[in-house]
Structure 1
Amino acid sequence: MFVHRAWWVAAVTALVIIGAGACATTAGLLVTPLHHEFGWPHGTISAAASVNLVLYGLTAPFGAAAMDRFGMRRMVTAALLLIASGAALTTLMAAPWQFVLGWGLLVGTGCGALATTFAALVADRWFAARRGLVAGILTAATVFGQFALLPVFSLLVDFDWHAATGTLVAIALLVTPLAWAVLRDRPADIGLLPYGATQPEPRSAPASVTRAVRALPLRSGPFWFLAGTFAVCGASTNGIMWTHFTPAAHDHGMPTGVAASLLAIIGVVNVLGTVGSGWLTDRTNPRLLLTACYALRGVSLMLLPGLFGPSVQPGMLAFVVVFGLLDVATVPPTIALCRELHGADGPIAFGWISVAHQLGAGTLALLGGLARELTGTYALLWPTTGALCLTAALLATSIPRPAEAPVTADQATCAR
């Protein structure tokens, strides 16, 4: 039975994203061992995690444009090697600035190039049908890599945190040759149509990397509405859950391995939530889907402080299941709205919206660490972030529909 090459490309893309995603949540596991070994304050360690998260976002739109200019296969390979280099340098560090350089700059930049904008680009180029579903599957791969491997890395960190970072180096290096062998820029490169297409896609000359700047829709009100909601998305996931959930649970007497296992449950459940969100995105108004996701996430975070304890109770299990279903379910409808509002520039617009996501994440990662240093607790972090999620739900309902078909950045350049 013939399987369209698009599905093989999607499968390898998922593996690449899982490999890159495994680096995203490891910083939360490193907070305690780095504090004990080097005596660095929580705020200093969180600063490196904040740089990682911000660069993860800032790289995204330029990564999408660079893949368009230099080729997907070359850029993915370069990004994986950058991740491997940064993680390897981290194993040799002896000062905070080295952690910022290795984990913040190199790993953050490499992971940013392989963020959800990469998933959006693959879904947009290789699929004419089932785009929402594919975007959901690839987004789920991101979170699966970030959370499902946490128990393994938690055990490695308990043994020796150098072993955990060394394992990340090995994962990146193992995935690299597979990406080089399978990935191609477009179906037409191997004589195929996108999955579900009946006519060849229009070909254009490779765009300049500066397209990432030219495609930034600064004067678009809907863009800023989406950016605002996605900033809250980053603050309430990467910013607090990925960076501060484990140390916060440890403050309440919960073993680090148990807390990491709870995050792993979130990652596994995320697969169902994100794929389901992609399926719904193909069939319903994405604005309503975003509103529901942010509202329910906000309520769950407000309830979280009362669920912490030295052992896992049914309430905490219910929280991780609900949060897992909602965690990255916002991505497929956001990608769909970028495509609806910005046309062919949708993946790059989504890249800029991802910048807002990571700015929100980096801000909360830093503020969470500072709050812990100043007050000795994370108690106020959860309800405050929950209130931000409820605000994002209101913003999502206000995103207008486009009045007319958008003009791409390249079309605008040609017109001039």
Structure 2
Amino acid sequence: MNQMQTGTRSPKLFYGWVVVLITFVTLLVAAGIRAMPSILMLPFEKEFGWSRGGISGVISVGIFLYGLVGPFSAALLAKFGIRRIMMISLIVLASSLSITPLMTHLWQFQILWGVVAGLGTGMMANVLGVTVSNLWFVKRKGLVVGMLTASAATGQLLFLPLLAKIIVDIGWRYAIYTSVAAILVLVVVVAIWMRNHPYDLGIAAYGSDEVAKPDVFKGNIFITPIQTLISALKNKTFLLLAGTFFFCGFSTNGLIGTHLIPACGDYGIPEIMAAGLLAMMGLFDLIGTTLSGWLSDRFDNRWLLFWYYSLRGLSLLFLPFALESGPTSLIIFSVFYGLDWIATVPPTVKLASKEFGREKAGMIFGWVVVAHQVGASVAAYSGGVVREWLGSYTLPFLSAGLICLIAALMAIRIARKSATAAA
């Protein structure tokens, strides 16, 4: 009875919002670090003589592993708790970055950033945001997922101008040192203030009056996600969500996140200015994806995805002309594209949760993210290879625009029963 009374009191600030804030900042910083190879590409070409295709291959592996670890991350978060897994991931990431300034060969870059950093950041990806929202919130889940998703994309873009300026002024190694310092601060914050579940504090989840114990994870952390995938592959909704997310990854962090700065360099646009365009996208994505989370609580998520993919496709078809036209057109592209950078995540999460239930939502969405990162990996590598062959990024940008239009048509084929927004 005392526990129930504690849980039903109305505190001035629900602690779940503190958890959301810590998760938001962690995802922000981790995503910004994950995006660093896009601004390291040109310095590495000059210092080490590595080809753009070779560097793109490292980025491709990192993006793929970042996605692949997602379903297993959901199982680890469920079994060992959010705080412990976040701390381990941050320490692994800091260790990888600390060794980076000592590397001299491409294979070392592949191990440190393609493998270790890819796995480390993958543990702090969208699955973390979905897990936090499911454990701490009964209501406002879409809004929370939108905020946390936006933090990942915004961090990926927001820190690039600062890091690019550090690289230009004093060298890329100091950008690495700055990132390590930020991670170590986060380790302390997570250790002191992060909590795994409302039950740890004797309170109910937001929107609930019941102080409920967390579900005990049952199964093997490696086998259970694979069994979940095998079962999901028989479901049409899962296949459509995974297919559209493949195209989503291809058209966002795989292509634009990796190659926009080098593409701007082909047109004589300075690296810092190009990073500024990505930062602008990040700011508008914070607005667009948070708004998308709010909309996903209220409207048919299939049609939200239809419009998001359609508008993104049109913006990518416009990009080659914007690069040729100059700064004004690129600013227009950055604003328009930024609003839609990953606004697709909240509706996709809602559709997955509605179809598969709260218990499986984390792992199901983890596998959907794997499809996203496979698409991103393909775009990251093929974009660099096509640029070497043709001397231009026009074909990759136009191709990405067209496949987004295909994704829009796929979205409205999702079964209507899965599309109704949950309260």
Is the CA contact 1:253–1:310 (under 8 Å) kept in the aligned structure 2? no
Q: Is the 8 A contact 2:199 2:213 kept in 1?
A: no
Contact 1:60 1:355 in 2 (8 A): yes
- Aligned-residue Cα RMSD (Å) equals 1.3
Shift of 1:311: 4.7
Whether contact under 8 Å (1:31, 1:42) holds in the other structure is yes
Deviations 1:333-378, CA, capped at 9 Å, x for gaps: 1111110011020111000000000000000100001011111111
Tell me, yes or no, if structure 1 residue 50 matches structure 2 residue 63.
no
Q: Gaps (5+ residues) in structure 2?
A: 1-10, 419-423
Of 162, 170, 174, the residue aligned with 2:181 is: 170
2:280 matched residue in structure 1: 265
Q: Separation in 2 of the partners of 1:242 and 1:24? A: 10
Question: Is the aligned partner of 1:161 residue 2:175?
Answer: no
Q: Does 1:213 align with 2:226?
A: yes
Q: Does structure 2 retain, via aligned residues, the 8 Å contact 1:23–1:107? A: no
One-letter identity of the residue aligned with 1:102: L
Q: What is the Cα deviation at residue 310 of structure 1?
A: 8.5
Q: Which residue of 2 aligns with 1:224?
A: 239
CA spacing shift, 1:21–1:175, aligned 2, 3 Å: same
Provide, for residues 72-129 of structure 1, a one-character-per-residue CA deviation record: whole Å limited to 9, x for no partner: 1111000011111111222111000000001111111111110011000001110011
Q: Secondary structure at the match of 1:56?
A: helix
Tell me how far 1:228 sits from its aligned partner.
0.5
1:384 corresponds in structure 2 to: 399
Q: Which amino acid aligns with 1:152?
A: L
Query: Contact 2:130/2:362 (CA < 8 Å) preserved in 1?
Result: yes
Q: Is the 8 A contact 2:202 2:211 kept in 1?
A: no
Candidates 332, 335, 344, aligned match of 2:346: 332
Q: Aligned residue for 2:271?
A: 256
- The residue identity in structure 1 corresponding to 2:348 is T
2:19 alignment counterpart = 9
Counterpart CA distance in 2 for 1:130 and 1:92 is 46
Aligned mates of 1:265, 1:394 — CA distance in 2: 29
Superposition deviation, residue 202 in structure 1 = 5.8
C-alpha distance in structure 2 between counterparts of 1:90 and 1:358, whole Å? 23
Aligned residue number for residue 320 of structure 1: 334
Superposition deviation, residue 143 in structure 1: 1.4
Residues 40-84 of structure 1: per-residue CA shift (max 9 Å, x gap): 110000010001100110011111110111111111000011111
Asked if 1:34 corresponds to 2:44, the answer is: yes
CA distance in 2, matches of 1:387, 1:310: 21
In the alignment, which residue of structure 1 is the partner of 2:421? none
Instruction: Please give the alpha-carbon distance, in whole angstroms, between the structure 2 residues aligned to 1:182 and 1:225.
Output: 39
Which runs of structure 1 show a deviation greater than 4 angstroms over 4 or more consecutive aligned residues?
none
Higher mean displacement: 114-123 or 141-150: 141-150
Q: Report 1:389-400 matches (<5 A).
A: 389-400=404-415
2:101 is matched with which residue?
91
Q: What is the CA-CA distance between 1:204 and the residue it aligns to?
A: 2.9
Q: 2:197, 2:214 within 8 Å by CA — same for their partners in 1?
A: no
C-alpha distance 106-310 of structure 1, shift in aligned 2 (>3 A): farther
Cα distance in structure 2, aligned partners of 1:340 and 1:381: 34
Given residue 111 of structure 1, which amino acid in structure 2 is its aligned partner?
A: T
- For 2:193, the equivalent position in structure 1 comes to 182
Q: CA deviation at 1:295?
A: 0.4
Q: Assess if the C-alpha contact under 8 Å between 1:253 and 1:309 holds in 2.
A: no
In 2, Cα distance between equivalents of 1:237 and 1:248 = 14
- Structure 2 counterpart of 1:236: 251
Deviation at 1:169, TM superposition (A): 1.3
For 1:341, what is the secondary structure of its paired residue?
helix
Residue type at the aligned position of 1:136: G
In the TM superposition, 1:137-152 aligns within 5 A as 137-152=147-162
| Cα displacement string for residues 311-349 of structure 1 (whole angstroms, at most 9, x for unaligned residues) | 512x21111001110011001111111100110201110
Amino acid at match of 2:86: V
Which residue in 2 is equivalent to 1:410?
none
SS at the partner of 1:94? coil
Structure 1 distance, partners of 2:266, 2:406, is 29
Measured in 2, the distance between the counterparts of 1:365 and 1:204 equals 38
TM-score by length of 1: 0.94
DSSP 3-state at the match of 1:390? helix
How far apart in 1 are the matches of 2:226 and 2:194? 26
Residue 146 of structure 2 is aligned to residue 133 of structure 1: no
| 1:194 has 2:194 as partner | no
Give the distance between the partners of 2:214 and 2:281, measured in 1 at CA.
40
Distance 1:89 1:59 in 2: 22
